[in-house]
Structure 1
Amino acid sequence: MKTIFSFFIRKGDVFMIEEFKKFIMRGNVLDMAVGIIIGAAFGKIVTSFVNDILMPPIGLLLGRVDFSNLFLNLSSTPAATLSEARDAGLPVIAYGSFLNAVVDFLIVAFAIFLLIKQVNRLMPKKEAKAARLCPYCRQEIADDATRCPHCTSEIPAAAKE
């Protein structure tokens, strides 16, 4: 009897479940999963920071504006607040929420920039491999080249300069 899991039982001679386990247990897959989870949690923190801490004082300085409630009503039916317009099913452009999302994105992007900058600073520098030169025309060639693309000379295997 075939079940929905029959696909996972055999693929030729390789067990799909074992292959899947090997795939999941590779370091980069686990690192990516941890990064996504931490990134989602960090995104929630930044969203709360933008909506609850950063934007209210800016709105106060600009005349008690609540950015999350700014909207453009596209219908002729009046609505006092964004939630009232949405409850009535009115078409609106919620540009205040969009502004909050832009500020949210900029903070996340800046934090990621700082993080990557620090990681790159702490990572050991890889030494640049010396370029291989053609012994005839002295132009740079690939390490595994057997013929120079510049002068078309045949490069002997021992001529590694």
Structure 2
Amino acid sequence: MVDMAIGIIMGTAFNNVVNVLVKKIFMPPLLYFTNKVSFENQKYVLRVASEDSSEISIGYGELIEVSIDFFIIGLTVFLVVKMMNRFRNKSDDPKNKEVETPKNIQLLSNIEKLIEEQNNLLKRKKE
């Protein structure tokens, strides 16, 4: 339960980081290259506002911004998980001396070696 709470808190904080990253880092160069056309305000007007009705429009600019957010979040999560898996694979290999192997993996490795030795002894006795 605590792990889930920590995950939710970290996810919320990560969301704020990504929002700032997109709005303050990635969007300004994109605005520069598109002659200061802001995606946030882009829309396709279906009906212009009049005295008795409001404007009806499709706001595709927000979809573009949300898609950029989603892409950045997905890329970041992919890179973090890939990095974590690389370290986990190194630590799970008992022959790798660079990273300390967890005790449970060491014990399982020792049991595996003992079983192999026992099988070899039993094969020799049968011969």
Q: Percent identity?
A: 33
Equivalent residue number for residue 49 of structure 1: 21
Equivalent residue number for residue 9 of structure 2: 37
Equivalent residue number for residue 98 of structure 1: 63
Residue type of the alignment partner of 1:96: G
Equivalent residue number for residue 74 of structure 2: 109
SS of 1:31's partner is: helix
Is residue 93 of structure 2 the alignment partner of residue 121 of structure 1? no
Residues matched between the structures, number: 91
Larger Rg: 1
Structure with the higher helix share, 1 or 2: 2
Q: Distance in 2 between matches of 1:52 and 1:71?
A: 22
Where does structure 2 lack aligned partners over 5 or more consecutive residues? 94-104, 106-111, 113-127
After TM superposition, the score normalised by the length of structure 1 is: 0.50
Contact 2:49–2:56 (8 Å) recurs in 1 = no
Residue type of the alignment partner of 2:84: V
Contact 1:56–1:66 (8 Å) recurs in 2 = no
Q: Distance in 2 between matches of 1:125 and 1:75?
A: 62
Is residue 31 of structure 2 the alignment partner of residue 59 of structure 1? yes
**RMSD after superposition:** 2.3
**C-alpha deviation, 1:91, in angstroms:** 2.5
Is residue 40 of structure 2 the alignment partner of residue 73 of structure 1? no
Where does structure 1 lack aligned partners over 5 or more consecutive residues? 1-28, 79-87, 131-161
Q: Distance in 2 between matches of 1:52 and 1:100?
A: 12
Q: Which consecutive segments of 4 or more residues in structure 1 shift more than 3 A?
A: 124-127
User: Whose RCO is larger (CA < 8 A, sep 6+)?
Assistant: 2
**C-alpha deviation, 1:72, in angstroms:** 1.2
**C-alpha deviation, 1:53, in angstroms:** 2.4
